[in-house]
Each structure stands twice: as structure tokens, then as C-alpha cells.
Chains A and B, each alone.
Chain A
Amino acid sequence: MSESFVELRSVNKSYWRDRLEIPVLNNINLSVPEGEFVALMGPSGSGKTTLLNLIAGIDRPSAGEVSVNGESVSQLSEGALARWRSRNIGFVFQFYNLMPVLNAFENVELPLLLTRLSRSERRRQVETALTIVGLADRMKHYPNQLSGGQEQRVAIARAIVTDPRLILADEPTGDLDKVSAEEVMELLSRLNKEFNKTIIMVTHDPRAAEKAHVWRHLDKGELNNKQ
């Protein structure tokens, strides 16, 4: 595949704490074509979340380049980056990170508030997203009235409501029981197959990883291919 959707070239990342350099990622090269479903695995502290954050444009590499769909993410200004994220990235967190004061509908609607969509257009899109995740009947529920699995599905609806081409998920099943995890994986798999979303997912769970097509292993900041 010549055309890569997500491309990392010689990416290095270090954190600085008290003038001490903590190297986290070391010379990462990664190329993900559009429509791919990648599972990113590796021991705790190996830099998986860091890598995902670099692709999402919520963190910047110390060296090297990150590009998504031809856009050099690492070179955008903060404001441009924020706008870019809102259009191109759907992010799914391990702990769902829904707004507790907003109900399911409002949580999913949140990213759309940054668009020029009218109220009715927003409504339609939110309903579509919630229908895809199978929670159209829970729109008025608040996060504390939902199970963990349902919360994560609302979070996935929030991630897809702007129709981004890339979905990044950081241990999306890490906090779920087996059945809920299965449902969430089923959903991600469907988004990949039916809607051709490119997905990069960090996971520790081998069962979750089964749904992916490509497995990458991070160890001590180095990326190994692992078919």
C-alpha cells in the first residue's frame, strides 16, 4: 500500500521533569493506510498512550513528523490543531470521560457545538450516532444512569458524530466486563467495516485485539512489527 493515511516518521518523544529527560518514544516509524484497524499493544509504560496522543494532535513530538491524511499535524498552531482535531479525529478514552452534567444526547452533541450546523441538523446527527451505537433509547440518560459499557458506547457516538475518518481509542475496553467489552469491540469492528473508519486502538486485551487486522507492539519506546 503506497498511500498511507497516518504516517509517523522518525518520531521521538521525551518528557522533561525537573530538567531530567525521560525518553518515551524512540525513532518511531509507522504507516497506516486508510480503512485499517490497528491494535497497539505493549507493556504498561511503554508509550502507547503517548503515541496515540501524538497522532491525535493533543501532544507534540520532540522530533520527527506526524502526518494524517497528508496534513502535517506537528506543524499546526494550537488553534489550527484544535480545529483540525474537531474535524478529523474521534477519540475514545479508557474511562469514557463523559461530561457528568450532560445527558447522553448532550454529550454526543458537544463536538457539534463547534460546527455551524443548525439545531435540527445537530439533532439528526446525534440521533444517527446514538442509533449506530444502539443507544437511541437512552438519549435522556445521564452518565451515572448508564452502565460502563453504555457509557463507552455513548463516548464512541461522541467520537463518530462529526464523522471523522480516524478513530483513536485508548484501551476502550480496559474498564469493562467481558460482555460489555465484546459489545464495544463489535461496534468498533463495525465502524471499521461498514463505515470504513481507520482505527488505531491501544489494548492490553488479546480478545479485543482479535478484531484488529494489524498488530503493533511497543516495547520500551520502540515499535516492532508483529503480524
Chain B
Amino acid sequence: MKVLKLVSKNATRHLLRTALTILGLAIAVMAFAVIRTSIDAWYAGARASSPNRLVITNAISLVFDLPVAYKDKIAQIDGVTGISWAQWFGGTYVDPKNFFPQFAIDGETYLDLYPEYIIPSEQREAFLSERNAVIVGRALADRFGWSIGDPIRLTGTIFPGEWDFVIRGIYTGKMETTDESQWFMRYDYLDERMKVEAPPRAGQVGSFIVQIDDPSRAAQMSAFIDSLFVNSLAETKTQTEEAFQLSFVAMASSIVTGLRIVSFMVIGIILLVLANTMAMTARERVSEYAVMKTLGFRPIHIVGLIFGESLVIAGIGGLLGVIITFPINGLLAEVIKDYFPIFKLDPLTLVLGLVSSLIVGFVAAVFPTLKAVRTPIVDGLRIID
């Protein structure tokens, strides 16, 4: 249509200005998408959690342990179909900067509760038959170039001393959201050394993982489990795996809130950028709109021209933003993958970015359009550029 042609000609009239506006929009949409992806990354653990798993920790704080002996009492509860436990090891590999999560787990039971970690059965056998064997995630193995059979030494921080391991298994995630950056060592390897070197710390675990048959009874069962240990030396706090994961996010809630605010501020900035461009544009064209009206064009045509131009600029900017988001997000994911193993672009984020820019395009056109439509023809014609 002819109007579209006029819109595009108008939009490219000040090529540099339009290009800069589009670039500004694109960068803002990209920033919006990356920030939202970062927020999602905090919640990755919660989203990957299973409704069939409960996590039991010390009621006082995560840093306190629970006696491993609790397992027998919990296992007997009706509705519990599996139980295992884990201890946070927190060792250092060569350099403290090489952070990755390390868990000492009960080899016999733990992996059964996590079907999302896929391990070849012979590797699992090897893990079970050797005390200092470890299973690591694919991403972690790739990060340090480890392969099966490699001897690895960690320096303990929570559990002091030098610890020697052998990689016996590499797991892969069943889903894209499965964390492949973890290290699983055997709990008995840790515990037996503690019995010798620090007897009071033996027989302690950081958390129990309980599998239940009916997720809808999770709350009820959690309360029941906690009631079993009321008034004991270590009271428990039982919650769904999701709630447990969310409690980590809660620790960082001000960061997440900050990110949220910034993501909305970014949208506000695009609005200012585009509104400014559109206002300049409308001001320059007052007399042109007056001429068009003199020729018989009606307000609806002027509305179409200004909104069309604003939406075209916003749409192109948004689209370009979406396109540049992919490489930038990929780059960022690479940089922070040790801390945020799941840093994935959600399609919804891209849609939101695009929709936001279109809304911005719409809003930015409102004021200039009102002005152009309301300016009487004779006033518009008096303004001579």
C-alpha cells in the first residue's frame, strides 16, 4: 500500500537517527532478555525439581547437620518409597576459583532417587565397587578435561586434608534443565575418614532426600516427619525439593529483585529513546501534516502514518534485539556457567522482549499523534521550516 511506502520513506528520512534509535532499541531488548534469563537461572534448580522428592535439613540452618541414623525412622513412614542422604563436601580443586558443587552421597540409594542423571550401568557398578570413586556431570568433566580413570585430588576445606579420587562415571542430564556440573563422591569414603580423624563429625549428613509416592500429600508428610524429631537434639525441617531450591533463591532475593527492577527500567529507557525520536519527527513534520490535511487527509491517516512509523522502528529494533540476544546470551552463559550451569534463553522471554518493544512503539506514538491531529491546519501551515 501507498501509506506503507510513505511510512518507510518517512522512517528512513533521517537514516542515522533511525539507525541509532533501532540500535538503542535492539540493545535494550537484548539487555532485557539477558537480565530475564539471569533471573530464570536463579530458579533453574527449583524448576528442575521433582514433586516426588522432599528434602530434610536441620531446622536451625543448612550449615548444621543431622544424624544419619534418622534414616531408619523416616524410611518406615507410610508413603515413603525411598530415602537417601548427602553431605556437602566443599573441597578445592587446584585453585579455589575452580568452584563446583560436590556432594558425598550414599551410592546405593542416591542415584535411584535421581532418574534424571543418566549413568551407564557399568560406570555405576564401578562407582559402587570402589570407595574413592566419583561420578561427575558431563559439563564438569568437559570443563576440566576429565575422563574416566583420571585420578583427582581435592583439598578439603570443611573436611580438612588431601583427598584422592578416581573418576569412575560421567552422567548426562535427561532434560535440558538437568544440572550437569555436579560431583558425586561416596559418603562412606568421607565418613570412614571422619571416624578416624574427627569422630564427632562422623555419622552426620547435610540432608536427607525422601521419595514419596503421592506429591499431593507432600505438606502433610513434611509436617509428620518434622513432628518425629521435635525435641530431639537436631530438629528437622522438611520441604519439597522445589521449596528447598527456592530457599536458595530467597537468600539472593534482593539481587533477583534488583534484576527485575533493572529489566523494567530497561523497557522504560527504550520508551524514552523512541518517544524522543518520535517527538522530534512529529515536530519537524507539523507543516507536512497540515498540508496533508489541507489536501483532504483525515486524522485517521495521520494516526496511521505516525503509529506506522513508530511501530516499524520498534518492530525492527525488537527483532534485531532478539537476534543479537542469541550470541550475547550464549557468550554470557559460557562465562558464568560454573555458577549458573543452567542459563537458557526462554522463548517466552524473547516474546516478551518483542511485545514490550511493540508496546513501547505504540506508546511513543500516542503523544506526537495527538499533537499532530489536534494542531489546527492554519497553525501547522504557519510553521515554516
Contacts and interface: CB of A to CB of B under 8 A. Distances in A.
Given A59-B377, A99-B288, A85 B294 contact: yes
Given A58-B377, A83-B296, A114-B296, A93 B9 contact: no
Instruction: Give chain A's interface residue range (CB within 8 Å of chain B).
Output: 20 to 34
Interface string B1-44: 01100100110010000000000000000000000000000000
B372 to A, nearest CB: 15
A102 interface: yes
B34 to A, nearest CB: 36
A101 B296 contact: no
Interface in A46-61: 50, 53, 56, 58-59
Contacts of B376: 59
Given A58-B377, A59-B378, A82 B9 contact: no
Contacts of B377: 53, 58-59
Interface residues of B, number: 21
Given A53-B378, A58-B378, A95-B384, A101 B13 contact: yes
Contact of A58 (B3, B287, B288, B293): B293
Nearest to A53: B378
A158 B294 CA distance: 12
B299 to A, nearest CB: 8
Q: Which of B10, B292, B293, B295 has the most CB of A within 10 A?
A: B295
Interface string B197-212: 0000000000000000
B6 A97 contact: no
A113 interface: yes
Nearest to A85: B296
A125 to B, nearest CB: 15
A85 B377 CA distance: 13
B296 A102 contact: no
A110 interface: yes
A40 B43 CA distance: 77
Interface in B227-245: none
A91 interface: yes
B298 interface: yes
A135 B361 CA distance: 40
Contacts of A110: 292, 295
Interface in A69-115: 78-79, 82-87, 91, 93, 95, 97, 99-102, 109-111, 113-114
Contacts, number: 57
A79 B301 CA distance: 12
B300 to A, nearest CB: 9
Nearest to A119: B2
Nearest to A109: B2
Given A59-B377, A59-B378, A86 B9 contact: no
A85 B292 CA distance: 11
B291 interface: yes
Contacts of B2: 109, 113
B381 interface: yes
B224 interface: no
Given A93-B291, A101-B13, A113-B2, A82 B298 contact: yes
Nearest to A159: B295
A82 B384 CA distance: 22
A102 B10 CA distance: 9
Interface in B134-172: none
B339 interface: no
Contact of A86 (B3, B287, B296, B381): B296
Interface of A: 50, 53, 56, 58-59, 78-79, 82-87, 91, 93, 95, 97, 99-102, 109-111, 113-114, 158
14 contacts: A50-B378, A58-B378, A58-B381, A59-B378, A82-B297, A82-B298, A87-B296, A91-B295, A97-B381, A99-B6, A99-B291, A100-B13, A101-B6, A113-B3
4 closest cross-chain pairs (CB), A and B: A86-B296, A101-B9, A58-B377, A97-B291
